[in-house]
Amino acid sequence: MESISSDFLALEIIFEKELLYEIIKLPIYKFPKGHNFQSNKEQAGSIPIVIKGNIDVSKTDSKGRDYPIYTIKQGESCIIAIDAIIHSSNNMGQKGIATVDTETVVVSAEQSKKWIDEYPSWRKYIFDLYGKRLNDLITQHEIVTEQRDLISVRNDKINNSIKYASRIQKAVMPTQEYMNKVLPDFFLLNKPRDIVSGDFYWVEQKDNKIILVAADSTGHGVPGAFMSMLGVSMLNEIVNKDALTGANAILNELREKIKASLKQTGDRNEQKDGFDMALCIIDIENKILEFAGAYNPLYLIRKGELIEIKADKMPVGIHIKEKDSFTVHETVLQTNDHIYMFSDGFADQTGGVKKQKFMTKNFKSLLLDIHTNSLTEQKQILSDTFTNWKGDYEQTDDVLIFGLKI
């Protein structure tokens, strides 16, 4: 009888000597730490037995994430490999990684079937492995379930906090009642991508002038919401406390306050937070529109023609090529003029048959097509168009559109 080397001592208490000596005759395969057994063609269609080291078996899901299944230790085998042989199935995303330098012997499918008939210890070995792996899976399931429940509780707390933040965000912006009082004929389409939004609107009446703002903060979600509330607070201070009422003067002062609050110095590595913004002031008595914009323009539709009043190509915030002042544009308004201010969320939304952006050109055409409808109808058409275009794709950004009829 052959002597049993130390490599096989772990198998001595598992198999009868006759079977053990058969196993000893098998070639030993050596694998370095980190070896991926999924790509090991030599062991395909065979049953590996680990005689030294460990192999972590995991499964990769459809999103490329790995989930642990079990660990094959010294003296153990891979039940997935055994199951694949029994059912003639292929690997379904499972893989094994050697956690340390590992050695195995390999039992062919034919050899295994022969041993099942000849050796009771081999039959018991196979059945015991099934039982052990079942317990491993149950334990893993319990761990995953516990983690899932913990994550669910934490998610609930986070969502509740964000929902409360949404209430605060809505509270700092003008109420529907106030806007109805100040604006005779308008609509506001506001579709946050998340519970809270980086887009915000602002309305204020000072004597015979109405100041309107449609803004897009850096980011969306919670970071964008913080920026939006900062913007609303600063606009209230600039207009009501500092008594500035010029369109470009308001943007200039807001820019300085943002730079000071966020400690923006112009360093290339600092975060370039700020706003893209359209701001207009309507002189009710004299019917004069005053506009200043940071990236975001204003559309004026008059007698079937869309006139774009362009914005400066710089944000309300730090910018490498910022001008000393935002540009102010003045326009004499006429009855039945339609004014539109907006963020870029609508035009940038991915959708349609070809999975492409809606585009500014199509947004302009849509506004021209619907501007003779009532403001209520316009809002509904825009909302439906956005939903239909988006289809099953995720919303990519916050959406804000302000429409006003003179």
235-246 pLDDT, tens per residue?
A: 999 998 888 889
**pLDDT of 43 over the 70 cut:** no
**pLDDT of 82 over the 70 cut:** no
pLDDT tens digits for 343-358?
999 999 999 988 999 9
State whether the Cα torsion 314-315-321-324 is positive or negative: positive
Give the best-scoring range by mean pLDDT among 94-108, 117-131, 384-398. Answer: 384-398
d(CA 399, CA 335): 28
The mean-pLDDT minimum among 42-56, 160-174, 222-236, 306-320 falls in 42-56
pLDDT at 142: 76
Residue 315 to residues 103, 220, 254, 273, 297, Cα–Cα distance (Å): 62, 16, 11, 9, 12
pLDDT at 1: 44
d(CA 185, CA 200): 19
Q: Is 280 helix (H, G, I), strand (E, B) or coil?
A: strand
**In this structure, are residues 165 and 222 in contact, taking their beta carbons and an 8 Å threshold?**
yes
**pLDDT of 134 over the 80 cut:** no
**pLDDT of 277 over the 50 cut:** yes
pLDDT tens digits for 90-122?
555 677 889 999 988 888 888 888 888 888 888
pLDDT at 39: 47
Domain boundaries, the chain: 6-144, 173-405
CA 312 to chain centre: 30
User: What's the whole-number mean pLDDT along residues 62-79?
Assistant: 80
Tell me the pairing of strands 199-206 and 66-72: unpaired
Give the best-scoring range by mean pLDDT among 89-103, 127-141, 243-257. Answer: 243-257
Residues in CB range of 199: below 8 A, 6 or more apart: 190, 192, 214, 215, 216, 217, 220, 224, 228, 343, 345, 398, 399, 400
- In terms of CATH architecture, what is 173-405? 4-Layer Sandwich (3.60)
The CATH class that applies to domain 6-144 reads mainly beta
Sheet architecture: strand order including 55-60: 66-72, 55-60, 94-98
pLDDT at 40: 45
Tell me the pairing of strands 274-283 and 209-217: antiparallel
For residue 191, what are its two tokens?
């579709």
* Percent of the chain whose predicted confidence (pLDDT) is above 90: 43
pLDDT at 45: 64
Question: Which class for 371: exposed (0-12), middle (13-18), buried (19 or more C-beta within 10 A)?
Answer: buried
- For the chain, the distance separating the N- and C-terminal CA atoms, rounded to the nearest angstrom, is 104
pLDDT bucket at 42, cuts 50 / 70 / 90:
very low
pLDDT bucket at 41, cuts 50 / 70 / 90:
very low
pLDDT bucket at 390, cuts 50 / 70 / 90:
very high
pLDDT at 15: 86
Which long-range contacts does 310-313 make (Cβ < 8 Å, 24+ apart)?
311/278
DSSP state of 277: E
Q: What is the dihedral of CA 188, 193, 195, 200, to 10 degrees?
A: -40
Helix (H) / strand (E) element for 34: namely none
Residue 171 to residues 11, 191, 217, 233, Cα–Cα distance (Å): 71, 17, 18, 12
d(CA 262, CA 259): 5
pLDDT at 276: 94
CA 366 to chain centre: 29
pLDDT bucket at 67, cuts 50 / 70 / 90:
confident
**In this structure, are residues 96 and 84 in contact, taking their beta carbons and an 8 Å threshold?**
no
User: What's the whole-number mean pLDDT along residues 394-404?
Assistant: 94
Amino acid at residue number 124: K
pLDDT tens digits for 18-28?
888 888 888 88
User: Looking at per-residue confidence, does 309 or 197 come out higher?
Assistant: 309
The mean-pLDDT minimum among 148-157, 246-255, 362-371 falls in 148-157
Residues in CB range of 314: below 8 A, 6 or more apart: 294, 295, 321, 322, 323, 326
DSSP codes, 381-392: HHHHHHHHHHTT
d(CA 184, CA 174): 15
Q: Is 28 helix (H, G, I), strand (E, B) or coil?
A: strand
pLDDT bucket at 136, cuts 50 / 70 / 90:
confident
pLDDT tens digits for 200-227?
999 999 888 999 999 999 877 788 888 8
pLDDT at 7: 67
Residue carrying structure tokens 């439906």: 384
d(CA 179, CA 276): 22
**pLDDT of 171 over the 80 cut:** yes
**pLDDT of 391 over the 90 cut:** yes
Amino acid at residue number 395: Q
pLDDT at 280: 96
Average per-residue pLDDT for the chain: 86
d(CA 214, CA 201): 5
User: What's the whole-number mean pLDDT along residues 373-388?
Assistant: 96
